[in-house]
Amino acid sequence: MALRAAFSPAVLDAGGELITYCTIGGRAATAWFVLTQLLGRDRVRVYDGSWAEWGRTPGAPVTPLTGQARAAGPAPARSRGTVLRPDG
């Protein structure tokens, strides 16, 4: 129950693909483990290049999540490991 509270319903209950990332991959891998192995969320992947690589790639699309789709908690989602929705 406490683990479910760490993620918004938009993250847990959506049926689409979910890609986790963070600065260098550690928190993203932890989020993947919790979502897939402990909470049973399907279609979750880790972007192993993470923000360190993606942010240096000219023209790479970024879709910031706001409101309901952000991770719960007082810190901004990006600093805690963010969920990235792939374009298209």
Tokens standing for 83?
């969920």
Q: How far apart, in whole angstroms, are the C-alpha atoms of residue 7 and residue 62?
A: 20
Helices (H), 14-67: 26-33, 50-54
- Catalytic residue (one of 11, 22, 35, 83): 22
Tell me, yes or no, if 22 is annotated catalytic.
yes
Catalytic residues: 22
